[in-house]
A and B are shown apart, each in its own frame.
Chain A
Amino acid sequence: MSHTIQELLLKVHQVNLRYDKQILRDVNFEIHNIVRPDMNQGQVVSLVGRSGVGKTQLFKILAGLIKPSTGKVTIDIDQHEVKPGEVGIIPQNYILFNHRTVYHNLKIGLDFSGKKISEKEEQDIINEYADKFHLREHLKKYPMMLSGGQRQRVSIIQQVLTGNKFILLDEPFSGLDMLMIDRVVDLLLNVSTINDFNTLIIVSHDIENALAISDTAFILANQEGQEGATITEKIDLVSLGFAWNPGIKQNAQFQELVAGMKHRI
C-alpha cells in the first residue's frame, strides 16, 4: 500500500502525572500525518492498556482538560500546546445535553465550529450526517430516549461537526454488542476519511477492535519495579499490512498479534 508519513500532528513530551502516587511516567509518542494518494486518509491511533492503568487520565491530558504534573502535549503544524476545545472528546459514557433534542445537540456542535453558515445550510449538513449515520428518525428525540449506541453516534457526529480534527474516544466499544461494534468501526473509518488531517485517538482495553481500525497502536503498561504506566511498545499496523483493511479481524496473523499482545498489557 503506497503511503507517505508526513508532518507531525501531535506530540506528547515526557508526560508525568502524579496524584498520591505516580499514575503516568515519562509518556512520549508522536502522531504524524499519513498521506495516501488520491484519497483523504486520516489517522487512527489506539492507546491500549489494562483497566485502571491510567488511560482516561492520559485521555484528559491529551484533550487539555487536565495539566500533567510535568511534560506537555503539542498539536498541529505549528506545534503549540493543546488547549481545551482543540481536541474533541467522546467520553466513556457519551455525555450529551439532555435538555436538547438530538437535532439541537448536533446544531450546537455546528454553532461553535466558527463557520458562518445559514440556518438552512446547518439543517442540510445535520440531515446529511443524520442520514449517513442512521440517525434521521431520531433527530427529534431527547438523548435519554436513545440507546447507548445511538448516543455514541450523536456524540461522535457532534464532535465532527465542531470541526475538530482531533477526536479522542474513551472506550468506544464498551457496552456494545458485536454488531454495534462493527457499526462503530464503520463510522470511525468513515470519519477518518472525511479529511486528510482527521485524527482519531482511541483509548481502549479492547485490543482486537482497537487494532482492527488503527494504523498505529501504543501500549500503555506498567513496567516491573517502576511506579506509573508508560508507553511500552509501538505497533505499526501499516507496515505489518493490517491497516485499512475492513476484513482484518478474520486474518489469522492479525489474530496472532492480538493474542500475543494480551499477555503484554
Chain B
Amino acid sequence: MKEQLKGLVQPFHTLNKKAMLALIVGETAIALLLWQLSGSELIPRPTDIMKSFFTMLHSNPEFMENIIISLSLSFQGMGISLILALFISYLSLIPLFSPIANFIIKCRYLTLAGLNFTFIVLLPNDPHLLKISLLLFGIVPFFVTSFLSILDGINTQEYDLCKTLRMNSWQTMWEVVIVGRIDQALEVMRQNFAISWIMITTVEGLQMSGGGLGTMVVKSSRFIDLGTIYAILLTIFFLGVFFDYILGVIRHWLFPYTKLQIRK
C-alpha cells in the first residue's frame, strides 16, 4: 500500500488499469464536489447544469435537432478538411506548390470573425455552403500545420531505404509519405477535432440562420441563461470526448501497427 502511494507521485511510474480508473473516478468526484460547494449565481453548480440539461432534453425539441445539425456540419467539415489538408501537405513536397502550403499554414493567424463578411458577400444565397467554407478556412491551416510537422519528422534513412529499393521519387512519396503516414493523418484529425468544435460554435454563432449548438449558445447568452449555456458546453464536451475515443479505436483497428508504437 505504501509502495503504491509512493508510485502515485513518481515520474514514469505506470499504474495498472484498475488503479488508474479508480484514480480518475476519485479525482473527478473531488473536482465535482469542490465545484458544487464553491458554486454561486455566476457559476452554475454541477447539479444545476444537470438539471437544465435534462429539462432541455425533455422540453426543448430544438436541442436534439441542433445537436444533429452541428454534428453533421462537423463531420462534413472534418471530412473535407482532412482531404484538403492532406492534398495540400502532399503537394507541399513538390517545390512548385510549397509556397502555397506555407502560406496556408500562416492563415492560422486570420480570425474567422473578421472574414465572415467577405464570405457572406461571396456566398449570399447558401448559408450551408457558407458555414462549410468558413469551417474549412478555420480548420485546414491547423491540419496542414500538424501534418507537415509529422512529415518533417520522417527519418531520412527511410527515404534512403526507398532509394536502395530503386523507387523513384513518386514511388517514395507514395510509400513513405502517403501510405506510411496515413495513420498519422487520422491522428492529426483526432487531435484537431477540438479545434473543429471551436470553429463550429463560432461559425454557427456568426451565421445563425441554420441553427446548431453554436446558435443556441449565442441566443442563450443574450438572455444570460447560464444553465442552458453550460448544458450545451457539457454536451459539446462529452461529444468531443466520445469522438476522441472512437477515432482512437478506429485508428488502432485500421492500422494495427499503431498500437506497437506506444511504448509501455
A residues with a Cβ closer than 8 A to B are 63, 65, 84-85, 87-89, 91, 93, 95-99, 108-109, 112, 114, 142, 144-145, 158-159, 162, 164
Contact with A along B241-264 (1 / 0, CB 8 A): 000000000000001110011000
Q: A95-B155, A108-B165, A162-B164 are in contact. List 17 more A-B contacts (CB 8 A).
A: A63-B164, A65-B160, A84-B163, A87-B164, A88-B164, A93-B157, A95-B160, A97-B175, A97-B176, A97-B180, A98-B257, A98-B261, A112-B171, A142-B257, A144-B260, A159-B164, A162-B165
B180 touches A91 (CB 8 A): no
Interface residues of B (CB under 8 A from A): 155, 157-158, 160-161, 163-167, 171, 175-176, 179-180, 182-183, 255-257, 260-261
Give the chain A neighbours of B261 by CB distance below 8 A: 98, 144
Contacts of A98 in B (CB 8 A): 180, 257, 260-261
- In the bound assembly, the distance between CA atoms of A112 and B168 in angstroms comes to 10
| B260 and A164 contact, CB distance less than 8 A | no
B182 to chain A, nearest CB (A): 8
State whether A108 and B160 are in contact (beta carbons under 8 Å apart), knowing that A144-B261, A162-B166 are contacts in the complex.
no
**A-B pairs with beta carbons under 8 Å apart, 7 shown:** A84-B163, A97-B176, A97-B180, A112-B165, A142-B257, A144-B257, A158-B165
Tell me the dominant secondary structure on chain A's binding face: loop
CB <8 Å contact, A89 and B175: no
Closest to B157 in A: A95
Give the docked Cα–Cα distance between A146 and B165 (Å).
Answer: 21
Residue from the list B157, B171, B256 in contact with A142, Cβ < 8 A: B256
Closest to B158 in A: A95
- Roughly how many angstroms separate A78 CA and B162 CA in the complex, as a whole number? 25
| Assembly CA distance A144 to B256 (angstroms) | 11
Which residues on the A side are within 8 Å of B155 (C-beta)? 95
A89 touching B164 in the complex, CB below 8 Å, given contacts A97-B180, A99-B255, A108-B175: yes
* CB-defined contacts of A87 to chain B, threshold 8 Å: 164
Q: Is the CB of A91 within 8 A of B160?
A: yes
Shortest Cβ gap from A166 to chain B (Å) = 10
Closest to B255 in A: A99
| C-alpha gap A70/B163 in the complex (Å) | 22
Contact partners of B255 in chain A: CB under 8 A: 99
CB-CB under 8 A for A112 and B167, given A95-B158, A95-B161, A142-B260:
yes
How many Å lie between the Cα of A63 and that of B163 in the bound state?
A: 10
Chain B residues with CB below 8 A from A108, complex form: 165, 175
